[in-house]
Chain A
Amino acid sequence: MIIAEGKPIKEILAMIDAYDKIIVAGCKGCVTVCSAGGEKEVGILSSALRLARQTQGRSLEIKEVTLERQCDTEYLEPMREYADQYQAILSLACGAGIQFVAEKFRKHPVLPGVNTQFIGVTEEQGVWTERCQSCGNCVLDRTGGICPVARCSKSLFNGPCGGSKGGKCEIDPQVDCGWQLIYERLQELGQLEKLEIVLPVKDWSTSRDGGPRKRIREDLKI
């Protein structure tokens, strides 16, 4: 899922400074699962913003709402009923959701309440780590199911580099060396010979480098 993290309250206060009636919109998708922008976080943030405003002797009226998702037009429509009564929308969805709201609610400034970070997994309750960089050209079959783009700090395709120590990456002793993981996994699978092949130069044009991407399924278009 997409992992995000709430922005610091001070930063959000600065963003909403000009407004006193806002919608705080959460999302029941990824940001709920990673506890960054679900119903609970909407409640906590709204409370904190109201309190902060009150200490300044100002008021802040907040409509707290948590939508099913913010990346599908149908799920944004319910906001139309009341959106005009508010001056701005503070969205706690991932960057995609926030932008979609901005596209569909053109009269409202739409502000990000979270920093969208990465595509990742829940390692344990409260801990989420990155797994995928959406490069558009998956090589997981060749690396034992472990991604060299996302899990190697240098995205090497023929690692590890000389900085791998004790199974950890040179940048941080808490970060696993992606290539150590690949090595161990291929060893477990009895496929170490895969590592003797030089993986060729990558075509990055399917990644962010090639420009904003689009995927179409013609058979599904109405």
Chain B
Amino acid sequence: MKAGSNLEKILSSGGFAVTGELGPPKGADVSVIERKASLLKGNVDAINVTDNQTAIVRMSSIAVGAILQRMGLEATMQMVCRDRNRIAIQSDIFGAYGLGIRNILCLSGDHQKFGNHPTAKNVFDLDSIQLIQTVKLMRDEHKVLGGDEIEGVPAMFIGAAANPFADPFEFRVIRLAKKVAAGVDFIQTQCIYDMDKFERFMQMVRDRGLHEKVHILAGVTPLKSVGMARYMKEKVAGMEVPDEIIARMKGAGKEKSREEGLNICVEQIQRLHKIEGVHGIHLMAIEWEDAVHSIVERAGLLPRPQV
């Protein structure tokens, strides 16, 4: 065991993991967290807490992670390279561990241009791959980047994101290999709608033997409407939505589109479960947390294992 987290235990015992996501409030209102968390409790193995996602200022990922740990839930703290230099990063990792957090997802971070503070300075002292190396250095060699010994090792289970559909497509597997070489333990992908393309990606992953070196969790997001499907297709960078899905959502009409969205989601999870090398799913039910229970149940993934 590297960190001994719930997520690590399930993955290393060969189980099919289910992780969820929680977006912190745009303020100091803790009740939002408690409400969302209670909808995820018992339905997922660990909960990702986003870090100022889309560069919109929200309660810090570490703070929310600590609140979740206090509630008896397992947090996966996300950390972006956009807002912190290596000093703050390493400091925050110490603090997160001290507050009980055991999983960390290392990300570059959306450019601040997208958020509510587009005139801010960005940091990017490290990139996401160097961040993975840093966490591994701290955990396995008990050192900080500058070389000093650590007083109390932050043994984190290290994760990163992968986007099988961003460009250049041929390079995506090489970049994944780089993350593995840097020391990543698990990967969560962006939400997948194009199953065929994802299966081609996973073939490339298996060809390189990467599926034996890292646990891959496939991202899924239930669609609420045909408008949402079109938005994802056209406006979100690195997202591929096949026309067939758009057609299904459109065909369902206004009253039935949520139901169809859930149907598609469950089908996707069942198909992903069969792909060799996929060790779990990362369910991002954006602003639809109350659908999580139903999705996980219909996909046959309940009850979640208690390890």
Contact = CB atoms under 8 A, between A and B. Distances in A.
Determine direct contact between A and B, CB below 8 Å.
Answer: yes
Interface of A: 153-167, 170-171, 177, 180, 183-184, 192, 195-196, 198, 200-202, 204
B300 interface: no
B124 interface: yes
Contacts of B181: 196, 198
A87 B292 CA distance: 71
Interface residues of B, number: 36
B110 A163 contact: yes
Contact of A155 (B124, B134, B171): B124
A158 B127 contact: yes
Contacts, number: 95
Given A170-B237, A201-B126, A162 B166 contact: yes
A88 to B, nearest CB: 30
Nearest to B111: A171
B257 interface: no
Contact of A163 (B81, B86, B182, B237): B237
B166 A165 contact: yes
B163 A162 contact: yes
Given A154-B109, A201-B130, A163 B174 contact: no
A164 B166 contact: yes
Interface in B117-176: 122, 124-130, 133-134, 145, 161-163, 166-168, 171, 174-175
Given A162-B161, A163-B111, A180-B168, A154 B174 contact: no
Contacts of A153: 111
A154 B133 contact: no
14 contacts: A153-B111, A154-B108, A155-B124, A155-B127, A157-B127, A160-B166, A160-B168, A163-B110, A163-B237, A166-B167, A195-B178, A196-B174, A198-B133, A201-B133
Contacts of B237: 162-165, 170
Contacts of A184: 168
Contacts of A195: 171, 174, 178
Nearest to A166: B167
A159 B127 contact: yes
Nearest to B130: A201
Given A154-B109, A196-B177, A198-B178, A165 B167 contact: yes
Given A158-B127, A200-B130, A164 B177 contact: no
B291 to A, nearest CB: 25
Given A156-B124, A160-B171, 13 more contacts: A154-B124, A156-B127, A159-B127, A160-B166, A162-B190, A162-B237, A163-B238, A165-B238, A170-B110, A171-B113, A196-B177, A198-B133, A201-B133
A180 B167 contact: yes
Contacts of A163: 110-111, 166, 237-238
Given A171-B111, A198-B133, A198-B181, A154 B171 contact: no
B178 A196 contact: yes
Contacts of B124: 154-156
Contacts of A170: 110-111, 114, 237
A165 B236 CA distance: 10
